[in-house]
Amino acid sequence: MRFNNLSRLVLSVGLAMGSLSAAQAADDDVKMGFIVKKPEQAWFINEQEAATQLGEEKGFEVVRLAGEDGQQVLSAIDNLNSQGAQGFIICPPDVRLGPAIMNRAKQYGMKVVTVDDRFVGPDGQPMEDVPHLGMSGYKIGQQVGNAIAEEMKARGWDPEKVAALRITNYELPTAKERTDGATDALLESGFKKSNIFDAPQQNTDTSSAFAAASPVLSKNGDYEHWVIFALNEESVLGGVRASEQYGLSPDQVIGVGINGSGAAFAEFSREKPTGFHGTVAVSSTMHGQQSAENLYQWITEGEKPPANTETSGTLMTRDNWEQVRKDLNL
Ligand code: FCA
């Protein structure tokens, strides 16, 4: 009996303290950083914008920062600390910076969630203790592969005469999952394995993809048609631009990207179709809002977000892009 009463007392004191600290945090100004690896890309601009809007509705502040390399990320964290931020959302420029970023955040007592690219620990495994939200990369990659296979059939292409330009970034798990998914789906559809050529890119943008793609196209001049895929649409666009420079016409090329950002909208808005057939669109609005919401709950309620949230995508082409854009609130 005595023990029971005592434990009830401990429990109620604990609950009271818990709600007190939550209420205090809610009264204080909540401020969070949103650090992204590619601040000029439409995907990341939209993510940061969506988080900022949510903050305006809910009454917290989002500080948008660029983190294009390790040094910039660490000074962004210092900067956030001096502004009194309680935590930050980050898409890191290099996933292997995870432990260094977490060290700095811990010094300041900041809470951290990752978006899009997940931290990797010294053992090469994802850092499970840092809550993450990102695409279900392999599945979305398969959607890319299936979309390419269907379009090849619709155009009546002979698989013997089709090559694949696989723009890869094997150092980045986010990228590898997606290009692996696309490759497997293509192979299942009957694509010839020996017709797939790797173009390793140094980065995740259009210019690095262009640089990677050009030599691969010129070394393999015997194919009538090319399909192009990569981790994102910015990179596929680099491949498509390289195919144009090489002299291929749009009807010889099927490029399918991933993201559904302003980069794809601009391409679909061109008067004439290009080799960029489509992209698997994911809601960057949702990624930005959900990450901010998760961190906000963590700061104010002490509720740690789920270890990993995976989001799904919808194929967007020149024919349906405006509708998909609306549906995904982009
Ligand atoms: C990675 C890519 C981005 C976007 C994001 C969800 O960070 O580089 O383009 O696809 O994942």
pTM (whole model) above 0.85: yes
d(CA 159, CA 153): 9
Ligand 1 pocket test target in 139, 143, 174, 176 with most atoms within 8 Å of CB? 174
* Residue to mutate (ligand 1; options 34, 38, 43, 115; most atoms within 8 A of CB): 43
Are 80 and 161 members of one domain? no
The reply to whether 6 falls in a domain is: no
Q: CA end-to-end span of the chain, whole Å?
A: 59
Number of domains in the chain: 2
Q: What own/partner pairs with CB < 8 Å and gap ≥ 24 does 245-253 have?
A: 245/214, 246/214, 246/217, 246/218, 248/217, 248/275, 250/274, 250/275, 251/155, 252/224, 252/225, 252/226, 253/225, 253/226, 253/227, 253/228
Judge whether 24 lies within some domain: no
- Per-residue confidence band for 110, with pLDDT thresholds at 50, 70 and 90: very high
Supply the pLDDT for residue 137: 97
Rounded to whole angstroms, how far apart are CA atoms 238 and 202?
Answer: 13
Q: How far is 131 from 306, CA to CA, in rounded Å?
A: 6
Say if 71 falls within a structural domain. Answer: yes
| pLDDT tens per residue across span 237-271 | 999 999 999 999 999 999 999 999 999 999 999 99
Residue-wise over 303-329: b if at least 16 C-beta within 10 A, else e?
Answer: eebeeebebebbbbbbeebeebbeebe
Question: Largest Cα–Cα distance of the chain, in whole Å?
Answer: 86
Q: Has residue 209 been placed in a domain?
A: yes
The enclosing domain of 104 has a CATH number of 3.40.50.2300
User: Is 269 in the same domain as 289?
Assistant: no
pLDDT at 165 over 60: yes
Whether residues 150 and 64 share a domain: the answer is no
Ligand 1 centroid–CA 211 distance in Å is 19
Q: Ligand 1: which atom is nearest the Cα of residue 259?
A: 10
pLDDT of residue 125: 96
Q: Domain limits at 206?
A: 137-281
143 and 276 in a single domain? The answer is: yes
- For ligand 1, the distance from its centroid to the CA atom of residue 24, given in whole angstroms, is 36
143 and 168 share a domain? yes
Same domain flag for 272 and 143: yes
Query: Measured in angstroms, how far is the CA atom of residue 259 from the centroid of ligand 1?
Result: 7
Tell me the per-residue pLDDT of 39-62, one tens digit each, with 9 for 90 and over: 999 999 999 999 999 999 999 999
What is the atom index within ligand 1 of the atom nearest the CA of 261?
9
Q: Are residues 239 and 305 in the same domain?
A: no
Between the CA of 232 and the centroid of ligand 1 the distance, in Å, is 6
**What's the confidence (pLDDT) of residue 28?**
65
25 is a domain residue: no
Q: Within this chain, do residues 181 and 288 fall inside the same structural domain, yes or no?
A: no
pLDDT at 11 over 60: no
> Residues enclosing ligand 1, CB less than 6 A?
43, 91, 116-117, 135, 174, 204, 231-232, 258-259
